[in-house]
Structure 1
Amino acid sequence: MQRRATGLTAAIAALGMAAVLAGCGGPGDSGDVTLKLVAADYGDSKANSSQKYWDKLAKKFEAENPGIKVDVSVYSWTDVDRKVKEMVKAGDAPDLAQIGAYADYAARDKLYRTEDLVSISTQADFMAPLAEAGEVKRVQYGMPFASSTRLLFYNEKIFKDAGLTPPQSWTDLAADAKALKARGVKIPYALPLGKEEAQAETMQWLLSGGGGYTDNVGTYDIDSTQNVKTFTWLKDELVGKGLTGATPPAKLDRAEAFAAFTRGDVGMLNGHPTLMQMAAKKGVKYGMVPMPGVNGHAQSTMGVADWMMAFKQKGHREEIGKFLDFAYSTKNVLDFSREYDLLPVTNSAAEEMTGNKNDKALAEFLDELPTSQLYPVGKTSWAQVSVDVKKYIGKAVDTNGNPASILSQLQTKAATEENAE
């Protein structure tokens, strides 16, 4: 590193060892270390591309840390995971990757452990549910970088015109949806179980029914009694009664459900913070409440996190650690969260956001985070299980669907994948 080179160079020159100096870096090499970071794009246009955020952050870091450069490449979510996978396969892993999954790389011993990178204070600042989700066999490899939870959005005007109050239980939700249908609302409740993000809507409903993808010890339990009851209720009480619109849930993607909400065609749907900005741009007034459960508010909601990970291949552990400590400072975490309507992943940033009136809307989502449950991302099998859920779960609520049968098939596939780990 450049800031350490002066004394060493003088000693080498005194010994007449210019050849050794040349061998350390080659002609023209300044001795700088360049960290390669590949990151996902959270922006929806060039104006707010994540590239701008990272370039600004890298410039500030480099000014404070002479001798360390940070080269950032940002890709869309459609491409970023594939890009990193290709780089690793080609033997040219980035030093850092901010993407959607880490477990497979950790299982193949490609990643540094978190405790070997960041300071104790940085590691302790990660919010507990997120830090735990970044573990493989109780060792943290995935560092949460962005997070969100889900709330039930409802169209305030439609509800007010119908004289309705936001639902607190499944019974309330079904009754509200029935009333909205009677008033001609196209989609009383939007149930996106299409291939785009069916795993998210599914998990939200499983949790609200007292179940989930896994049991209390982390074993897949997709066809549990609670989960079968949940999807049977969805099939019979919402889909079967025409309360989810004309498009079958299996063919409705999240993006279209969100777009329909911003057109005023949807009464209720589960949404994440991005929907706030989308609705506001279209002039749609909305309210948000916790996800209803069987007999009242669900005991837990779904949390989602994206991950930062550090690859061992190039050996820049010390420099990576310095950059991560900088990136996870309270100010930088807040800047990113506010720019992209995401939740902070550290306790210090969360505390500041909670106390800031300008962050009131995001704070409503933040309130749900302590009791949230995340996808079982610590399992290398989850990537394939998620694909299977997207492919098959919509069939469970079709007219001729059999929830118990579909969930049993998914459980069998998940158990097979897990046993293959």
Structure 2
Amino acid sequence: MQRRVTGLIAVVSALSATAALGGCGSSAGDGPVTLRLVAADYGNSQANSSQKYWDKLTKAYEADHPDVDVEVSVYSWNDVDAKVKSMVAAGDPPDLAQIGAYADYAADGLLYRADDVLSIDTQSDFVTQLSAAGQVNQSQYGMPFASSTRLLFYNKDLFADAGVTPPKTWGQLASAAAALKAQGVRYPYALPLGPEEAQAETMMWLLGNGAGYTDEVGSYDIDSEQNVETFTWLKDKLVGKGLTGPVAPGKLNRAQAFAAFTRGEVGMLNGHPTLMKAAAEKGVKFGMVPMPGVDGRSETTLGVADWMMAFKKSGHREQIGDFLDYVYSDKNVLEFSHEYDLLPVTTSASEAMAADADDADLLDFLEELPNAELPPVGQTSWARVSADIKQEIGTAVSSTGSPAGVLGHLQRGAAARQNAE
């Protein structure tokens, strides 16, 4: 997920957390151990760089674990996955990596299983949907580190001027978009199908029609009848009627759509928690509702997660496990979630957030998490299939595009990649 995608419960001290959760122990072995962690930066400036989060966390951990040094290198989302890939290719992987995908490394036998390193209490505390998404061949290798869901954001002032209410169905969404267009709204519905994150916008619409990228047994089913129906509707009822704004959906990236929303130019769009702060800072009055579906509000929503993984090369299994148990303590999970407007990945921290009045603005997103469906991140083919979707899906709704043709082409490529796994 790649996002830049922030009260607290009774604080568990570092010492008590590791005592309670550290089932793997922190043996000093033959001497001091250095753990290397490569992590993604969720901040948008030096002031809130993730390096500051990790520096504070590791300083507290090392104070109670003098035989363990933790070195954290933080890279931008543009660079972090490639950095880890190059380290692995050079035969020198880090002990831990917190990045966007884990499946390739798991399939190559490079990673510890989650139950190799985590205590039972820590592993069992992961939100069920996220834990399941971290599995390859029924074994968990990807440990969720950050998560978010999506809601439909709408501009309250623009909706009031157009005399419409938040939609619950696709038909209502199209009607509201038409009314917004009649009032001169630049982007009645912003449809970002550009290469930045088209796979996420696409999946939200597929879920709204009761489908997705795969079938019930995990095989790609991109050109299913339901999915072709979905993109035909988008082409005919939204894009073809000029309800998605002046930029062709295939050229519109998420960041552009979000920026237009904060300028008051967008009537509605799908968004994640960070859009709340950005819009509020610009004085935009907004509301949020579940994503509409074909006949009613969608029963499932898009879930997104970023991943922590532990490489076996160094052999520091016990130290890695003890450190991760500390990382996943409620105190640290909540601190990270608050700092970057993300959802906790553990059940206990989620319950704490839900009970805290200071987190009321995240409650709507949190309530969607049990209904969330994640992309097929456990398949090694997904990274390349996702890249194909990002590049091609926007053409399905262009004036000369064919939803059936584009989805069919994507399906053939996805099936070939899956068969080659």
**Shorter-chain TM-score category?**
over 0.9
Q: Radius of gyration: which is bigger?
A: 1
Partner AA of 2:195 in structure 1: K
Partner AA of 1:151 in structure 2: L
Structure with bigger RCO (C-alpha 8 Å, 6+ apart): 2
Cα 1:240–1:61 shift into 2, 3 Å = same
Question: What is the CA–CA distance in structure 1 between the aligned matches of 2:183 and 2:392, rounded to whole Å?
Answer: 32
The answer for the alignment partner of 1:48 in structure 2 is: 48
Question: What is the CA–CA distance in structure 1 between the aligned matches of 2:393 and 2:300, rounded to whole Å?
Answer: 21
Cα 1:55–1:177 shift into 2, 3 Å = same
The answer for the alignment partner of 1:345 in structure 2 is: 345
Deviation of residue 160 (structure 1)?
Answer: 1.5
* Runs of 4+ with deviation above 2 angstroms: 1-5
The answer for the alignment partner of 2:295 in structure 1 is: 295
Question: What is the CA–CA distance in structure 2 between the aligned matches of 1:128 and 1:368, rounded to whole Å?
Answer: 13
| SS state at 1:223 partner | coil
Deviation of residue 164 (structure 1)?
Answer: 1.4
Where structure 1 has 5 or more consecutive residues not aligned to the other structure, the ranges are 6-23, 25-30
How large is the RMSD of aligned CA atoms in angstroms?
1.2
Deviation of residue 90 (structure 1)?
Answer: 0.6
Partner AA of 1:70 in structure 2: V
| SS state at 2:172 partner | helix
Deviation of residue 340 (structure 1)?
Answer: 0.1
Deviation of residue 158 (structure 1)?
Answer: 0.7
Partner AA of 2:191 in structure 1: L
The answer for the alignment partner of 2:134 in structure 1 is: 134
The within-5 A match list for 1:22-61 is 31-61=31-61
The answer for the alignment partner of 2:168 in structure 1 is: 168
Question: What is the CA–CA distance in structure 2 between the aligned matches of 1:337 and 1:133, rounded to whole Å?
Answer: 20
Deviation of residue 216 (structure 1)?
Answer: 1.2
Tell me if structure 2 keeps the 8 A contact 1:3–1:66. Answer: no
After superposition, the C-alpha distances for 1:47-101 in whole angstroms (9 at most, x for unaligned) are 1000000000000111111201100000000000000000011111000000000
The answer for the alignment partner of 2:361 in structure 1 is: 361
TM (norm. structure 1) is 0.93
TM (norm. structure 2) is 0.93
Question: What is the CA–CA distance in structure 1 between the aligned matches of 2:357 and 2:242, rounded to whole Å?
Answer: 40
The answer for the alignment partner of 1:19 in structure 2 is: none
The answer for the alignment partner of 2:69 in structure 1 is: 69
Deviation of residue 3 (structure 1)?
Answer: 8.1
The answer for the alignment partner of 2:20 in structure 1 is: none
Deviation of residue 208 (structure 1)?
Answer: 0.6
| SS state at 1:70 partner | strand
Deviation of residue 2 (structure 1)?
Answer: 11
| SS state at 1:306 partner | strand
Question: What is the CA–CA distance in structure 2 between the aligned matches of 1:214 and 1:369, rounded to whole Å?
Answer: 20
Question: What is the CA–CA distance in structure 1 between the aligned matches of 2:153 and 2:26, rounded to whole Å?
Answer: 53
The within-5 A match list for 1:63-142 is 63-142=63-142
Cα 1:181–1:2 shift into 2, 3 Å = closer
Tell me if structure 2 keeps the 8 A contact 1:2–1:32. Answer: no
The within-5 A match list for 1:373-384 is 373-384=373-384
| SS state at 1:172 partner | helix
Tell me if structure 1 keeps the 8 A contact 2:148–2:273. Answer: yes
Deviation of residue 4 (structure 1)?
Answer: 5.8
Partner AA of 1:81 in structure 2: D
| SS state at 1:368 partner | helix
After superposition, the C-alpha distances for 1:174-227 in whole angstroms (9 at most, x for unaligned) are 000000000000110000000111001000100011110001111100000110
- Provide the identity percentage: 67
The answer for the alignment partner of 1:14 in structure 2 is: none
